[in-house]
């Protein structure tokens, strides 16, 4: 799943079988029928169409929640049959030659249902479907966990990789896929004696349980702060501020203000008195002892798991298949980036200190405290000389389609969904059309907020690219009494296969879902007009979607976004940079683009560098929390490490009595890899500057990016891709110096136009 938060990271379950400035140049173009269709698709409420009924995503086998449970049961039966086939592969050289393909097929078989279940759990409004999805998810994940530590499967793969003649027969992509399985088997204690493997399974279950508890604690409400009436004097006189002041004045009692509430946000931004901001900051960053204990138990369990498989720390175990390779290299990158960012962050901090000095009429520059940041920074951005034309949702999608046509020869074509094909009437279906290959995939856009739907923005890969014409399911065998179930599952598989023009082979076409929470259009209010940060969000998620569409590989384990965690955000962050270009913005709105040409340069928010520096510290903290000291230091304390890091390398002092780490939810999903977003921001900034900035609509450059990066998914070393794209062969080694070099690159704000906060 692609979740978007303040620091956007890609989530991918960790299993062997993977769910695995230039002058404005006006662009003149004629609105095509597809452009007009996109505009109407998203900007006008559409009545339901009476099309032939089908099941979810066009699968007749998924017409009801009971069908989904049946599909999960059938998938489990077929997965057992295929597992047995792989286990018996050493009886035939032909079967050994098929081992990697069959392992990838087994992975895809399970993931196609598990990933669909994950979407349904987060988006479907029908409780019966959600319950069915939970049932399927738990059932298939349990079987997947068995496969992850299956000695027999490991031994068969070992037989393949130990035979030079078999290895020589593997293509580059197939060999890379084999190595992914091999490395992940090794991380699962596969070589250890049975009792130690059992300990590994036990620790893995404990980590999962502690992780869920940690995430629940991280999102749970914090206790309120007590705010005295006199502390609210001078607060900005808006409606909410006036109500708070009146409440305090007439009750003559302390107010209880809950962290995260609208009242708390207003006080942090506009209360001239420092005391209420201080109280709210401390309340917001407080932790119960049990919450700290849960996090520290989680970190110890991870450390023990790593030691069990012979690694010094959880970070060492996690990073060896990432671009960074080692914790030391991560620190090399972060320290270089910190030194590079520190001067601008300190300059911004001095500007805040000067504002605080003037505000309190002090004789010297005061220290900026953690609760001062929102009050003194940022200042109100200057208004552009003319207003931006309204960017409706349909307008932005039209611009995206035009941009993709310029860069890749790809357009987005709206199409009507059949009855039962989507889970809500809000969901709209887009075909992704390549000018040479025709239809190459689908995007289902579920973009409007509604009750019960997961919050935030996300990119779900429901189906990956995979070549299928070499599949031979009949050789998997059957299971007596379950023939009808198996047939239903095979029909489900066959419906996903397509022959593309001008391309060899039959492929499973990618299918992705975008979830956002924009305001719904209405007949009274008109189309959805996006805030600038929402436009940025949409560009980000569509960057992931294009990676999924163009990453056309024969193996699903290396398809599209199934690549290294510290590489996967590059395409999505790079897409945000295109919003810096007036040329790209001219694709949005043919009637209003003249206004864009009159916009002067808008100064960058001075606090961006402070925020970047804060993210660097969090990434360093993540490394400390997953270092050998978790077990080696008997007095290891997450609160002490947090305070020490802020007081030795931070710009703003740590606040005694606070323990933010229990709200650092990314520690669970991205343990030891939180640096990834910063790392990809640095690379994306460089790619934008060196490749696209001068000519962002160049088909030649778009094709180079497509051929050097996007089409490979995870089938090629990311360092080789970046080195080729930037014409920087010295990066190919991906060593400590390469990490330092990326750290020295300037991280530029992805978008410098109005509303980027």
Contact 286, 256 (CB under 8 A): no
Structural contact between residues 483 and 25, judged by C-beta atoms closer than 8 angstroms: no
Average pLDDT for residues 32-56, to the nearest whole number? Answer: 68
Q: Which pLDDT does position 5 carry in this prediction?
A: 32
What is the mean pLDDT of the segment spanning 216-236?
A: 86
| Structure letter (DSSP) for residue 662 | G
Question: Collapsing DSSP states into helix, strand and coil, what is residue 735?
Answer: coil
Mean pLDDT to the nearest integer, 597-611: 65
**Tokens 């070393």 found at:** 717
CA torsion through residues 117, 122, 126, 132, sign: positive
Residue 9 has pLDDT above 80, yes or no: no
96 with 89: CB under 8 angstroms? yes
Write the pLDDT tens digit of every residue in 181-213.
999 898 888 888 989 988 998 999 899 899 989
| 676 touches 9 (CB < 8 A) | yes
Residues 348-361, mean pLDDT to the nearest whole number: 94
**Quick check: 8 pLDDT over 90?**
no
- Integer-rounded Cα Rg, in Å, for the chain is 27
What pLDDT is stored for residue 478 in this prediction?
86
Predicted confidence at residue 497, as pLDDT, reads: 83
Mean of pLDDT over the chain: 87
Among the residue ranges 223-237, 389-403, 506-520, 585-599, the one predicted with the least confidence is 585-599
Rounded CA gap, 167 and 154, in Å? 16
**pLDDT for the residue numbered 237:** 54
* Residue 739 tokens, joined: 């990490």
pLDDT interval class at 754 (50, 70, 90): very low
Phi-psi region of 122 (alpha: psi -120 to 50; beta: other; left: phi over 0): alpha
Span 630-639, average pLDDT:
96
User: Are residues 426 and 447 in contact, defined by beta-carbon separation less than 8 angstroms?
Assistant: yes
Q: Peptide bond preceding 437: is omega within 30 degrees of 0, i.e. cis?
A: no
pLDDT at 388: 62
Least Cα distance to 305 among 202, 198, 203 occurs for 203
> What are 309-350's pLDDT values in tens digits?
999 999 999 999 999 999 999 999 999 999 999 999 999 999
* Cα Dmax for the chain: 87
At 518, is the secondary structure helix, strand, or coil?
Answer: strand
Give the DSSP per-residue string, 397-450: HHHHHHHHHHHHSEEEEEEPPPBTTSSSTT-EEEEEEETTTEEEEEEEEEEE--
* Both tokens assigned to 214: 């940690």
Residue 22 has pLDDT above 60, yes or no: no
pLDDT of 241 higher than 70? no
Residue 507 pairs in a beta bridge with: 467, 498
Per-residue pLDDT band for 18 (boundaries 50, 70, 90) equals very low
Asked whether the CA dihedral 298, 302, 305, 307 is positive or negative, the reply is negative
Residue 50: what are its φ and ψ, rounded to 5°? -90, 85
The pLDDT value given to residue 313: 97
User: Could you give the CA distance from residue 172 to residue 437 in angstroms, rounded to a whole number?
Assistant: 24
CA atoms within 13 Å, Cβ hemisphere of 242: 3
Structure tokens at 578: 């295109």
Query: How many percent of the chain have pLDDT more than 90?
Result: 66
The reported pTM is 0.89
Q: How far apart are CA 471 and CA 4, in angstroms?
A: 36
For 667-703, how does the pLDDT look when each residue is reduced to its tens digit (9 = 90+)? 998 999 999 999 999 999 999 999 999 999 999 999 9
Catalytic residues: 541
Total Cβ atoms within 10 A of residue 261: 14
In residues, how long is the chain?
A: 757
300 pLDDT exceeds 70?
yes
3-state DSSP call for residue 316? helix
pLDDT at res. 472? 87
Token look-up 């136009």 returns 753
Out of 265-274, 305-314, 705-714, least confident range: 265-274
Q: Say which range, 85-99, 175-189, 515-529, 664-678, has the weakest mean pLDDT.
A: 515-529
Give the pLDDT of residue 755. Answer: 36
- The string over 20-34, giving b where at least 16 C-beta atoms fall within 10 Å of a residue's C-beta and e elsewhere, is beeebeebeeeeeeb
Q: What percent of the chain has pLDDT over 70?
A: 86
Residues whose CB falls within 8 Å of the CB of residue 314, separated by 6 or more in sequence, listed in order: 299, 302, 303, 305, 306, 626, 630, 671, 672
C-beta of residue 319 within 8 angstroms of C-beta of residue 567: no
């Amino acid at each position: 799943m692609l979740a978007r938060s303040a620091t956007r990271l890609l989530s991918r379950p960790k299993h062997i079988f993977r769910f695995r400035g230039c002058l404005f140049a006006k662009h003149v173009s004629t609105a095509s029928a597809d452009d007009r269709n996109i505009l109407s698709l998203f900007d006008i409420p559409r009545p339901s169409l009476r099309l032939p009924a089908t099941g979810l995503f066009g699968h007749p086998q998924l017409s009801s929640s009971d069908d989904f449970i049946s599909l999960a049961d059938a998938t489990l039966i077929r997965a057992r049959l295929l597992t047995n086939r792989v286990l018996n592969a050493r009886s035939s050289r032909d079967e050994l030659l098929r081992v990697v393909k069959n392992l990838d097929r087994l992975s895809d078989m399970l993931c196609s249902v598990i990933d669909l279940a994950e979407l349904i759990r987060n988006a479907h409004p029908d409780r019966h479907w959600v319950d069915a999805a939970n049932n399927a998810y738990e059932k298939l994940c349990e079987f997947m966990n068995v496969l992850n530590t299956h000695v027999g499967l490991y031994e068969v793969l070992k037989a393949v990789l130990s035979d030079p003649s078999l290895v020589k027969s593997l293509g580059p992509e197939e060999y890379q896929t084999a190595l992914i399985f091999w490395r992940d088997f090794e991380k699962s204690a596969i070589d250890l004696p049975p009792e130690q493997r059992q300990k590994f399974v036990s620790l893995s279950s404990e980590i999962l349980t502690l992780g869920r508890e940690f995430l629940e604690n991280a999102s749970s409400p914090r206790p309120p702060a007590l705010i005295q009436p006199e502390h609210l004097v001078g607060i900005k006189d808006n409606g909410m501020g006036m109500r708070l002041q009146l409440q305090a004045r007439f009750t003559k009692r302390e107010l209880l203000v809950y962290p995260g509430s609208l009242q708390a946000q207003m006080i942090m931004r506009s209360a001239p008195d420092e005391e209420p901001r201080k109280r709210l900051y401390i309340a917001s960053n407080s932790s119960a002892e049990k919450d700290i204990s849960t996090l520290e138990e989680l970190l110890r369990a991870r450390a023990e798991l790593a030691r069990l498989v012979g690694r010094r720390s959880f970070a060492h175990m996690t990073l060896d298949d990432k671009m960074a390779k080692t914790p030391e290299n991560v620190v090399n990158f972060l320290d270089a980036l910190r030194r590079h960012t520190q001067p601008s962050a300190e300059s911004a901090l001095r500007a805040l200190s000067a504002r605080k000095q003037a505000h309190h009429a002090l004789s010297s520059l005061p220290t900026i405290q953690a609760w001062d940041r929102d009050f003194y920074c940022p200042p109100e951005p200057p208004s552009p000389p003319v207003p931006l034309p309204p960017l409706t949702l349909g307008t932005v999608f039209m611009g995206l389609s035009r941009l993709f046509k310029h860069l890749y020869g790809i357009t987005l074509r709206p199409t009507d969904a059949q009855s039962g094909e989507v889970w809500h009437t809000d969901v709209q279906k887009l075909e992704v059309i390549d000018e040479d290959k025709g239809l190459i995939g689908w995007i289902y856009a579920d973009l409007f907020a509604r009750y019960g739907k997961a919050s935030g923005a996300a990119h779900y890969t429901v189906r990956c690219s995979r070549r299928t014409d070499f599949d031979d399911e009949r050789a998997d065998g059957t299971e007596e009494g379950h023939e009808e179930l198996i047939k239903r599952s095979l029909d489900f598989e066959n419906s996903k296969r397509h022959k593309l023009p001008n391309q060899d082979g039959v492929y499973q076409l990618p299918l992705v879902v975008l979830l956002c929470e924009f305001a719904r259009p209405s007949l009274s209010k008109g189309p959805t007009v996006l805030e600038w940060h929402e436009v940025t969000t949409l560009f980000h998620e569509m960057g992931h979607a294009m990676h999924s569409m163009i990453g056309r590989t024969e193996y699903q384990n290396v398809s599209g976004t199934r690549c290294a965690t510290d590489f996967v955000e590059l395409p999505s962050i790079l897409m945000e940079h295109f919003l810096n270009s007036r040329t790209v913005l001219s694709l949005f709105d043919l009637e209003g683009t003249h206004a864009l040409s009159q916009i002067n340069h808008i100064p960058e928010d001075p606090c961006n560098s402070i925020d970047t520096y804060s993210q660097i510290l969090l990434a360093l903290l993540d490394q400390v929390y997953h270092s050998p000291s978790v077990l080696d230091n008997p007095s290891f304390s997450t609160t002490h490490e947090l305070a020490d890091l802020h007081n030795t390398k931070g710009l703003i002092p740590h606040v005694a009595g606070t323990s933010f780490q229990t709200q650092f939810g990314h520690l669970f999903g991205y343990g030891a890899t939180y640096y990834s977003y910063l790392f990809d921001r640095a690379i994306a900034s460089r790619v934008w500057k060196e490749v696209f900035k001068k000519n962002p609509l160049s088909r030649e450059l778009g094709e180079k990016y497509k051929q050097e990066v996007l089409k490979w998914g995870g089938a090629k070393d990311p360092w080789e891709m970046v080195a080729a794209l930037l014409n920087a062969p010295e990066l190919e080694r991906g060593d400590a110096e390469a990490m330092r070099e990326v750290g020295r690159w300037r991280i530029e704000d992805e978008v410098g136009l109005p509303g980027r906060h």
